[in-house]
Amino acid sequence: EADIYQTPRYLVIGTGKKITLECSQTMGHDKMYWYQQDPGMELHLIHYSYGVNSTEKGDLSSESTVSRIRTEHFPLTLESARPSHTSQYLCASRRGSGTTNTEAFFGQGTRLTVV
């Protein structure tokens, strides 16, 4: 069973509010990722990290930011939420070097609704 946790599970928030989506893993994985997914659609990579103090933007442009101060923690922040940010956000982690074909473990996701 994967040891990667996301909170909150569901969030309804007003436009303009600042929010932070939490993601923590206890597996000691270096690589962590954030994906954005609209209902019934594909996953789009929005952020990734190779390890502590490493953060990069993914393929899909996002107004969110991330930080990686500790190996186990990879929070995502939206400074000013808008209705266009309404989506599911999935956090994932992987072990091993870049050439190792290991599976990614996912958290349960955060379903964000901005009203």
Partner 1 sequence: AQKITQTQPGMFVQEKEAVTLDCTYDTSDPSYGLFWYKQPSSGEMIFLIYQGSYDQQNATEGRYSLNFQKARKSANLVISASQLGDSAMYFCAMRDSLNSGYALNFGKGTSLLVTP
Chain positions contacting partner 1, by CB under 8 A: 31, 33, 40-43, 45, 48-50, 56, 58-59, 88, 90, 92, 94, 98-99, 101, 103-109, 111
Query: Cα 104 vs. chain centroid, distance in angstroms?
Result: 13
CB of 9 to partner 1, least distance (A): 9
* Cα 16 to Cα 8, 30, 61, 78, distances in angstroms: 18, 33, 19, 9
R_g over Cα of the chain? 13
Q: Which residue number, 47 or 79, has a Cβ lying nearer to partner 1?
A: 47
Task: Give the ranges where 7-85 is alpha helix by DSSP (H).
Answer: none
CB of 63 to partner 1, least distance (A): 19
CB of 77 to partner 1, least distance (A): 19
